A and B are shown apart, each in its own frame.
Chain A
Amino acid sequence: MTIKDNGFFATRRLILQGAGAVALVGLGNLPFLAPALAAANDKYPEEAFKAKNEADAVKALYGKTAEASDKVKIDAPEIAENGAVVPVSVTTTLADVSSISFLASENPVVLVASYKIPAGTVPNVANRIKLAKTSNVIVVVEAGGKLYSATKEVKVTVGGCGG
């Protein structure tokens, strides 16, 4: 075995140990992370708006994953001629809704908007969003501490992000 090989194995071991340590730290932090996320709910979710895919955005926002539900209804056009202005609204029959978020799978920033729904506010929201190109519009609803989602594909003929 050459010295070079030893070096390789040493590096590999270091990396493995590092990964193990990260995993341990990650696990150790989880119980503290959950309340921290809940507490940070009032703040602007900076991290969630940096996420590059839906799963990461939802995780950064809520710290858990969503399950598909037919109780969440998205109203959006099948085909949007202008991706810069796509009217999307959502209604849900779920009780105890505390938050509704809009995501677009193909946008450079997948999280579009996140709305806090305090008790007494009706869980129906309408807004207008930009879509870079044809993509899935995903709505995530937090109700009773759980996450529910619905997806609808919107075809875009002219993108909303220039270029």
Chain B
Amino acid sequence: MASTIRVRATSNGDITEVQALIQHPMDSGFVKDARGEIIPPHFIQELTFEYDGRNVFVADWGPAVSKDPYVKFAFKGGKKGDDLKVSWVDNKGATDTTTAKIQ
């Protein structure tokens, strides 16, 4: 299966800018479906970006992060061609991981 994570990491020499877009329903548990039944909560809780063996960015998410979440941040360092590892885990224990090359 194709990865749920799309990442673009670009380095300008000093700073690496990272944008990530993840496919996930991010159901909050407050929304009802067409039959009036509550859609159970299903959302990503933790999203981790790892570079060179250390975490450069960790997100703790609640149910109020939008569907197919997007996040953007930047960190100092990061060389072109190096790997950036991205992984998430949701409230049902599902996970996904991908590795992107810094451009």
Whether A113 contacts B73 by the Cβ 8 Å rule is no
Q: How many A-B residue pairs have CB under 8 A?
A: 106
Chain A positions within 8 Å of B, measured between CB atoms, are 44-45, 49, 84-86, 89, 104, 107-109, 111-118, 120-122, 124-132, 160-163
- The 0/1 profile, CB within 8 Å of A marked 1, for residues 53-76 of chain B is 011111111111111011111111
* Chain A residues near B67 (CB-CB < 8 A): 84-85
7 nearest CB pairs, A to B? A162-B31, A126-B72, A116-B58, A128-B66, A122-B74, A121-B75, A112-B64
* Chain B residues near A108 (CB-CB < 8 A): 28, 30
Whether A122 contacts B28 by the Cβ 8 Å rule is no
Number of interface residues of B (CB under 8 A): 30
Whether B62 contacts A49 by the Cβ 8 Å rule is yes
Whether A130 contacts B65 by the Cβ 8 Å rule is yes
Q: Which of A86, A111, A115 contacts B58 (CB 8 A)?
A: A115
Whether A161 contacts B30 by the Cβ 8 Å rule is yes
A157 to B71, CA, bound (A): 24
